[in-house]
Structure 1
Amino acid sequence: MIVNFIENYAKLIVSKPEEVNVSEEKVDDTFTEITIKANSADIGKLIGKNGNMINALKVMANGCKAKDGVSYKIQVLSN
């Protein structure tokens, strides 16, 4: 659920949505790592001024934590 939301949201923000790739790696039952890979020119857009965009995504992930009990870590990487 949260992975699909993050992928759709990231594709709306960036200039080259076809290069956005979101992957999910479950570390254990209570922790999941989400990685957003995008074009290097779009990394700044995903992070946002003062980190506001990535922090908004983290807030959404924390809201899902309250529902399903899984902690999420979000990373933004360049292709």
Structure 2
Amino acid sequence: MIKNFIESYVKLIASNPDSIPVSEKQIDDTFIEVTISADTHDVGKLIGKNGNMINALKTMANGCKAKDGVSYKIQVVAN
């Protein structure tokens, strides 16, 4: 659920949306790591000024934690 939302959200923001894979790795029963791999010129857009864009995604993921009890870590890495 979170992965699909993040994937559609970042593809709306990025200049080259087809080259942005979003992967999900389950660490244990209560922790999932979501990694967004982007081109170097899109990383700044995804993080946003003062980290506002990525913080908005993290806030939304924390809201989902209340529903399903799973914690999410969201990372943006450059290709």
TM-score by length of 2: 0.98
What is the CA distance between 1:29 and its match in structure 2?
Answer: 0.3
Query: What is the correspondence of 1:11-30 to structure 2 with a 5 Å cutoff?
Result: 11-30=11-30
Aligned residues: 79
Give structure 2 stretches of 5+ with no counterpart: none
Q: Residue in 1 aligned with 2:71?
A: 71
Residue identity (%):
72
Which amino acid letter does the alignment assign opposite residue 40 of structure 1?
T
List structure 1 runs of 4+ shifted beyond 3 angstroms: none
Verify: 1:62 aligned to 2:62, yes or no: yes
Offset from partner CA, 1:40-68 (integer Å, 9 cap, x none)? 11000000000000000001100110000
Q: CA RMSD in A?
A: 0.4
TM-score by length of 1: 0.98
Verify: 1:31 aligned to 2:31, yes or no: yes
